[in-house]
C-alpha cells in the first residue's frame, strides 16, 4: 500500500519545526525515524495532512552525561544507544534494551524520541523512563515521565511540541531486562525491567497496561526486606494487562511475576 497524500517539510531547527506544526494544525505529524509512523501510514491507519521532518535537525543526536543525569537527544537511534560507551557506562540497562529493539534495520532508523512520543505501552524505553523518573524535555518545557505516559498512545505533547531530549538518572548498578516474546524481533508480550538505584530496586513492566507500569508493591516488598521471590509475587498487583492474540491478561499477570523474579535474581547474580 501507499500512504495517503501529504505535504512534506524538512525543518532546519526545532523553532522552525514548532512554527510549522503550529501553522499546519493537529493533522500534521513529526517525522523522525518513521518506524512507528510509516507502517501505520502505509496501511492508511494514519493519514496525516503533513509531515514535518526533523531528521536533519542538528544537535539532537547527542549522548552525554551531565552531573548525575544521562542526557540523550531525541534523534539518537537504537543502534547508537546500543553501541554507545557512554550509555553502557552510565545506564547499561538502556543500552541492553536498545540492542533488543526490533531488528538490525529497525535499530538503524528508529529513534529514542520517536518511541517515547509514540507512547506505546509495548515499547521498551517508556518502561525505563517511568521506573527511573526520566524527564522528557521538549520545545515547550519538560515533563516528568510519570506524567507523560497518560494512556495508550496518549501524552501531554501539544500538536506543535517536539521532544528535544530525554534525561535519565545515571544508574550503573545491578540491572536486567527480560523481554518475553515469541519471535526475537517482536514487541514484548511482557517485559520486566529491574534496576538497583540508590540502594533500592526500581521495577518496571512493559505491555502490562495502557501505559508502562511500575511494580510498586513489589518494590515496597523488597524495601521491607522480603526475598526476591516473595516480592516478585506482588509484581502484578493492580495490573489489568490487555488480552490480545499473543497472550491473555491472566497470562501477562503471571509473566509479570515470573519475569520480575527472574530479572531480580539474574541482576543480583
Partner 1 sequence: MAERVRLTINGVAREDLVEPRTLLVHYIREVAGLTGTHVGCDTSQCGACTVLVDGDAVKSCTAFAVQADGATITTIEGLARDGELHPLQQAFWDEHGLQCGYCTPGFIMASVKLLADTPEPSDDEIRIGLEGNLCRCTGYVNILKAVRTASRRMTEAGGAPTGGAAAGSAAARTAG
Partner 2 sequence: MAVTQLIGARIQRREDPRLVTGHGRFTDDRSPRGCCVLQVVRSPHPHARIRSIDTARAAAHPDVLRVLTAADFRSVLHGAMPVTPSFVAEKRQVPERFPIATEEVVYQGEPVAVVVARDRAAAVDAAEWVVVDYEPLPAVVDPIAALDPAGPRAHAGAPDNVCWDVTYTGGDVAGAFADAELVVHGRIVQQRLAPTPIEGRVVVAEHDPYDERMTIWLGSQNPHFIRLFVSQALQMAETQVRVVSRDVGGGFGSKISPYPEDYLVPAAAKLVGRPVKWVETRTEAMAGTTHGRGQVFEADVAVRRDGTLLGMRLTQTLDVGAYCGTFGAFQAVAVYMAPGAYRWRGVEGRTIGVLTNRVPTDPYRGAGRPEGTHLVERMVDLVARELGMDQAEVRRRNFVTAFPFTNPFGFVYDSGNYHGSLDLALAAVDYPSLRRRQAEGRAAGRYLGIGLSTYVEICGFGPSAPTAGATGGIALVEGAQVRVFPTGSVAVYVGTHAHGQGHDTTFAQIVADTLGVPMEQVELHHGDTDEGTGFGYGTYGSRSLSVGGMAVRGASLLVREKARRLAAHLLEAAEADVLVERGRFAVRGSPASSRSFQEVALAAYGANLPSGMEQGLEAVHYFDPANFVWPFGAHVCVVEVDPDTGQVTIERYVAVDDCGTVINPMIVEGQVQGGIAQGIAQALFEEVVYDPDSGQLRTGTLLDYLVPTMSELPVPECSRQVTPSPTNELGVKGVGEAGTIAASVAVINAICDALQPLGIRHVDMPASPDRLWQQLQEVRRP
Q: Which positions lie near partner 2, rule CB under 8 A?
A: 1-2, 4-5, 43-44, 103, 180, 182-186, 189, 245-248, 251, 254-255, 258
By CB under 8 A, residue 106 contacts partner 1 = yes
Q: How far is the CB of 242 from partner 2 (least distance, A)?
A: 13
In angstroms and rounded to an integer, the radius of gyration of the C-alpha atoms of the chain is 18
Q: How far is the CB of 135 from partner 1 (least distance, A)?
A: 29
Which residue, 210, 196, 213, 197, is CA-closest to 256?
213
Tell me whether residue 62 or residue 105 sits nearer to partner 2 (CB atom): 105
CB of 84 closer than 8 Å to CB of 107: no
Q: Does 109 bind partner 1 (CB under 8 A)?
A: yes
d(CA 104, CA 78): 9
**Alpha carbons 73 and 16: distance in angstroms, whole number:** 18
| Least separation in angstroms between CB 67 and partner 2 | 39
CB 57 within 8 A of CB 124: no
Question: Does the footprint of partner 1 cover residue 153 (CB under 8 A)?
Answer: no
CB atoms within 10 A of CB 21: 24
Query: Is 244 within 8 Å of 193 (Cβ atoms)?
Result: no
Q: Is 31 in the site for partner 1 (CB under 8 A)?
A: yes
Neighbours of 63 (CB within 10 A): 19
Report the residue from 3, 156, 210, 242 that binds partner 1 according to the rule CB under 8 A.
Answer: 3
Please say which residue, 44 or 56, places its beta carbon nearer to partner 2: 44
Give residues 44-63 in contact with partner 1 (rule: CB under 8 A): 51, 53, 55
Residue 55 interacts with which of partner 1, partner 2, none, CB < 5 to 8 Å by class: partner 1
Q: What is the DSSP letter of 151?
A: B
Per-residue DSSP letter, 4: P
Enumerate binding residues for partner 1 (CB under 8 A). Answer: 1-8, 10, 31, 34-35, 38-39, 41-43, 51, 53, 55, 79, 102-106, 108-109, 183-185
Amino acid at each position: 500500500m501507499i500512504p495517503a497524500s501529504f505535504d512534506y517539510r524538512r525543518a532546519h531547527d526545532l523553532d522552525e519545526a514548532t512554527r510549522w506544526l503550529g501553522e499546519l494544525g493537529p493533522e500534521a505529524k513529526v517525522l523522525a525515524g518513521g518506524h512507528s509512523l510509516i507502517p501505520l501510514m502505509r496501511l492508511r491507519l494514519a493519514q496525516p495532512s503533513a509531515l514535518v521532518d526533523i531528521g536533519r535537525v542538528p544537535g539532537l543526536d547527542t549522548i552525554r552525561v551531565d552531573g548525575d543525569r544521562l542526557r540523550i537527544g531525541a534523534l539518537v537511534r537504537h543502534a547508537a544507544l546500543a553501541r554507545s560507551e557512554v550509555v553502557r557506562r552510565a545506564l547499561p540497562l538502556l543500552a541492553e534494551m536498545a540492542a533488543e529493539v526490533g531488528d538490525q534495520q529497525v535499530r538503524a532508523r528508529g529513534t529514542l524520541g520517536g518511541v517515547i512520543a509514540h507512547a506505546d505501552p509495548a515499547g521498551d524505553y517508556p518502561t525505563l523512563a517511568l521506573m527511573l523518573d526520566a524527564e522528557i524535555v521538549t520545545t515547550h518545557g519538560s515533563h516528568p515521565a510519570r506524567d507523560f505516559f497518560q494512556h495508550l498512545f496518549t501524552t501531554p505533547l501539544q500538536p506543535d511540541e517536539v521532544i528535544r531530549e530525554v534525561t535519565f538518572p545515571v544508574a550503573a548498578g545491578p540491572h536486567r531486562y527480560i523481554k518475553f516474546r515469541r519471535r526475537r524481533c517482536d514487541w514484548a508480550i511482557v517485559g520486566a525491567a529491574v534496576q538497583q538505584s540508590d540502594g533500592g530496586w526500581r521495577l518496571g513492566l512493559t505491555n502490562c497496561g495502557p501505559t508502562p507500569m511500575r511494580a510498586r508493591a513489589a518494590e515496597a516488598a523488597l524495601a521491607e526486606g522480603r526475598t526476591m521471590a516473595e516480592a516478585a509475587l506482588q509484581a502484578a498487583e493492580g495490573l489489568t494487562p490487555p488480552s490480545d492474540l499473543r497472550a491473555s491478561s491472566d497470562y501477562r499477570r503471571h509473566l509479570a511475576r515470573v519475569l520480575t523474579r527472574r530479572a531480580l535474581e539474574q541482576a543480583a547474580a
